């Protein structure tokens, strides 16, 4: 067989053209690289992407009626929502209420009670008497429901069942921003007394923004000192900055609770120095939250700024001074603009971490200082309202993405690279 290699092609020791050997080697290198990153890729999919997708799915899922009363859900979806449901729909509803298992019925009644307070007890009462509805003629089925409980004469209860019959809806997402759909499908405000989540969301942003600003104001001079001091002193200062990382978050937060309480060291010292005459409320309020969160998050602001400042040539400031610029002007006009990648990275990191804080506000804050993470834990834990908890989590995730996009717009990810 004739050789397909070019007459003047360079050959490897085994007689294979060198170009082919190089292509094979490059292909094998890519395969090995893919094999090396495959475990990390799988880990990210399993531990990061999949949980987020599951969370987003739960936030728009409304499965209770569909799972426990599937025929009822299908019948109510076909109803146009005008007046009362057809008698055939009511018959199916009565039949499935009589046969529903206890667990599924409990989830349905709990879900409908979110829409209208008191629906759970009414539905339980109806389920206990559902066998009495079976012998009734279709024309008398509605009157049978009303005889069990007069609230069935109100179309709002039937509309609540219809809204819960859709497997995927915006019910929990609207609830997470204090909105709901009325009987006509229009989006309206939730009932008075239930509108708390927008306020909590604004409070979360306010606290996160304030903590970020405080960390920047306190962290900038520390990072500057770290970058300009002699190596021996800067290493000692860096150890002090990293020292909080050697203690658990819970211990650090509890320590502030002890220090700031009425009989704590801070109050006792201030009274001894004559700063005030009686103990001040320094904990279980916004002040305590700020103090504890800034203490915990300050290193996350200092370290990115320090890493950027360390790479800035000190001759830039000296050149500005030689041209007649005062020290403060040289710092603002020459030094600080070069620090912006570190400032942006630290700001982004501290703000995002602040958004999700739960332990610190729960321990040192009062009822008016709890952030959105507290309500996520409350709904997914004690209240077992996974849909609302997932919706609040989705909003928190959206806030994080928005903050990242804002950072990328004004600072830019590529500016994180230090030359």
SS (H, E, C) 334-382: HHHHHHHHHHHHHHHHHHHHHHCCCHHHHHHCCHHHCCHHHHHHHHHCC
Crossing angle of helices 197-228 and 386-410, rounded to 10°: 40
Q: Is the pLDDT of residue 4 over 60?
A: no
pLDDT attached to residue 415: 53
Cα(222)–Cα(303) distance, integer angstroms: 10
pTM: 0.82
Do residues 338 and 224 both lie within one domain?
yes
Residues 274 and 397 in one domain: yes
Q: Report whether 157 contacts 85 (CB < 8 A).
A: no
User: 279 and 144 in one domain?
Assistant: no
pLDDT of residue 334: 79
The rounded percent of the chain whose pLDDT value lies above 70 is 94
Last residue of a domain, one of 189, 207, 235: 189
Residue pLDDT, tens place only, 107-130: 899 999 988 889 999 999 998 888
Domain co-membership, 94 together with 215:
no
Asked if 188 and 179 touch (Cβ cutoff 8 Å), the reply is yes
State residue 192's pLDDT score.
Answer: 75
| CA distance to 332, 346, 350, 369, per residue, from 340 (Å) | 11, 10, 15, 31
pLDDT band at 59 (very low <50, low <70, confident <90, very high): very high
Q: Which domain holds residue 142?
A: 64-189
Verify that 335 and 404 share a domain, yes or no. yes
Does one domain contain both 339 and 202? yes
* 173 within domain boundaries: yes
| Helix (H), strand (E) at residue 189 | strand 187-189
Exposure string (b/e) for 219-249, b if CB count within 10 Å is 16 or more? bbebbbbbbeeeeeebeeebeebeebeeeee
pLDDT of the residue at 12:
58
Pair 179, 268 in one domain: no
Return d(Cα 190, Cα 388) in angstroms, integer.
14
**Does a structural domain hold residue 27?**
no
Q: Does the pLDDT of residue 219 top 90, yes or no? A: yes
């Amino acid at each position: 067989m004739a050789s397909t290699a070019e007459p003047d092609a360079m050959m490897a020791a085994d007689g294979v053209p060198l170009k082919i050997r190089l292509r094979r080697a490059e292909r094998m290198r890519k395969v090995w690289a893919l094999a090396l990153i495959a475990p990390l890729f799988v880990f990210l999919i399993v531990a990061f992407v999949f949980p987020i997708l599951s969370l987003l799915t739960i936030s728009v899922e409304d499965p209770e009626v569909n799972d426990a009363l599937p025929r009822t859900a299908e019948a109510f979806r076909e109803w146009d929502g005008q007046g009362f449901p057809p008698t055939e729909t009511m018959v199916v509803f009565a039949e499935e209420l009589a046969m529903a298992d206890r667990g599924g019925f409990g989830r349905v009644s709990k879900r409908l009670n979110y829409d209208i307070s008191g629906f759970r007890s009414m539905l339980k009462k109806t389920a206990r008497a559902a066998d009495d509805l079976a012998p009734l003629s279709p024309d008398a089925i509605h009157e049978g429901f009303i005889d069990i409980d007069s609230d069935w004469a109100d179309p709002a209860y039937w509309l609540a069942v219809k809204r819960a019959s859709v497997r995927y809806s915006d019910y929990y997402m609207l609830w997470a921003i204090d909105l709901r759909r009325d009987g006509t499908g229009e989006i309206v405000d939730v009932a008075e007394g239930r509108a708390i989540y927008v306020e909590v969301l604004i409070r979360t942003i306010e606290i996160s923004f304030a903590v970020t600003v405080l960390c920047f104001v306190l962290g900038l001079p520390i990072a500057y000192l770290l970058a300009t001091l002699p190596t021996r002193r800067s290493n000692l200062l860096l150890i002090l900055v990293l020292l909080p990382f050697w203690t658990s978050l819970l211990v650090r937060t509890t320590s502030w609770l002890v220090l700031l309480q009425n009989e704590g060291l801070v109050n006792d010292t201030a009274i001894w120095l004559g700063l005030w005459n009686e103990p001040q409320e320094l904990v279980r309020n916004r002040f305590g939250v700020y103090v504890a969160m800034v203490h915990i998050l300050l290193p996350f602001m200092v370290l990115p700024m320090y890493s950027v400042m360390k790479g800035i040539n000190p001759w830039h400031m000296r050149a500005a001074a030689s041209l007649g610029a005062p020290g403060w002007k040289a710092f603002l006009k020459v030094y600080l603009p070069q620090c912006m990648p570190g400032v942006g990275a630290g700001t982004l990191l501290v703000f995002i971490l602040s958004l999700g804080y739960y332990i610190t506000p729960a321990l040192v804050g009062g009822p008016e200082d709890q952030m959105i993470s507290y309500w996520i834990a409350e709904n997914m834990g004690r209240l077992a309202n996974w849909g609302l908890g997932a919706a609040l989590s989705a909003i928190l995730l959206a806030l994080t993405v928005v903050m990242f996009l804002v950072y990328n717009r004004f600072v830019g990810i590529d500016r994180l690279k230090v030359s």
